[in-house]
């Protein structure tokens, strides 16, 4: 099960007590891709598709209990690509459907009796709780979120540019700075910052998913930090080994050409210790000398041995 499905299942089972919030949630859901059909004598029906069965049941219940309208759930399977089940929440033409159409901004005055207008937010969103519910419905209707194990990415897809701008404005009320882009015939609202995604999940009430997201994020950050430390230690160890091998090679060359015994006492001592302890650090080498020598002193003598070796190679 994908993380998107996990989040949507949690939201679909979240009980919304206040009627105003249930209306806002349904309107947000339907505005993400609801379709209207006009039959004979101007009869209007509304439908909405979703792959989430729990979301379909929730909207079906809201239509019946809050609006007092008849509704039905239809199902079919996709034939191409993934053969997922698609659920259609259909609200047939009936007395009282005008109230829902007005909230959706679909009630106009042209010859069909239908026109696309701005949704009257004052009727749909009457408080902060309604804003959260509206955004919850929006995500249920057209949202998706990546598994936090991978790249952090949450997006909401809508076919209406004005609705895209509206979603961004609503998110700004919670200091969530969403970005937008156009993709074919759709408009995308997206978040890529993990902190912003966490705040969004909090706003729409997906608290269990939020905790799962945070837990995965912490483990992922810890794993990345450990990997960086291991890589850093490995790089330092490789440098130490390579340097030690070069130094030992220089000392052997000096011993072969002129003999270690002919070196000054200070260089002779460090040369022997380096050959005997090829894996030791400069500090450890310095502690073995008599008297002990600091790292800078060891480095100076090692460098002098390298210079002598280079001179011998030149000859």
Q: What is the mean pLDDT of the chain?
A: 86
Given a contact cutoff of 8 angstroms between Cβ atoms, the answer to whether 135 and 124 are in contact is no
pLDDT per position as a tens digit, 79-135:
666 667 889 999 998 888 888 888 777 654 343 333 334 455 667 788 888 999 999
Q: In the prediction, which pLDDT does 138 show?
A: 94
- Residue-level pLDDT at 106: 62
Domain boundaries along the sequence of the chain: 3-205, 221-314
Give residue 264's pLDDT. 87
CA dist., res. 278 & res. 244, Å (int): 6
- Which CATH architecture is the domain 3-205 placed in? Roll (3.10)
Tokens of 154: 């949450």
Hey, what are 152's tokens?
């952090």
Q: Which residues of 280-293 are buried (b: 16+ CB within 10 A; e: fewer)?
A: bebeebbebbeeeb
pLDDT at 120: 57
Q: Tens of pLDDT along 252-302?
A: 988 888 888 888 888 888 888 888 888 888 888 889 888 888 989 988 998
């Amino acid at each position: 099960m994908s993380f998107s499905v996990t989040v949507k299942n949690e939201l679909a089972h979240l009980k919304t007590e206040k009627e105003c919030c249930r209306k806002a949630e349904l309107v947000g859901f339907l505005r993400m891709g609801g379709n209207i059909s006009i039959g004979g004598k101007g009869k209007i029906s509304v439908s909405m598709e979703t792959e989430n069965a729990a979301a379909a049941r929730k909207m079906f219940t809201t239509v019946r209990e809050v609006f007092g309208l008849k509704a039905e759930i239809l199902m079919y399977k996709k034939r191409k690509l993934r053969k997922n089940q698609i659920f259609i929440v259909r609200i047939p033409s009936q007395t009282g459907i005008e109230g829902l159409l007005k909230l959706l901004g679909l009630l106009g005055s042209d010859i069909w009796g239908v026109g696309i207008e701005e949704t009257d937010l004052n009727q749909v969103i009457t408080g902060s709780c309604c804003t959260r519910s509206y955004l919850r419905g929006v995500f249920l209707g057209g949202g998706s979120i990546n598994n936090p194990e991978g790249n952090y990415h949450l997006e909401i897809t809508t076919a209406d540019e004005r609705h895209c701008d509206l979603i961004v404005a609503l998110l700004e009320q919670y200091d969530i700075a969403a970005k937008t882009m156009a993709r074919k015939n759709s408009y995308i609202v997206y978040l890529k910052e993990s902190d912003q995604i966490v705040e969004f999940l909090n706003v729409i009430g997906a608290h269990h998913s939020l905790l799962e997201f945070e837990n995965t994020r912490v483990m992922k950050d810890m794993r990345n930090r450990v990997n960086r430390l291991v890589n850093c230690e490995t790089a330092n160890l490789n440098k130490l080994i390579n340097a030690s091998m070069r130094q030992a090679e220089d000392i052997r060359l000096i011993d072969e050409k002129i003999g270690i015994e002919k070196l000054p006492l200070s260089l002779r001592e460090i040369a022997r210790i380096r050959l005997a302890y090829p894996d030791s650090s400069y500090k450890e080498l310095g502690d073995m000398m008599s008297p002990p020598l600091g790292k800078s002193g060891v480095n100076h003598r090692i460098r002098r041995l390298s210079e002598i070796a280079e001179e011998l190679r030149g000859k």
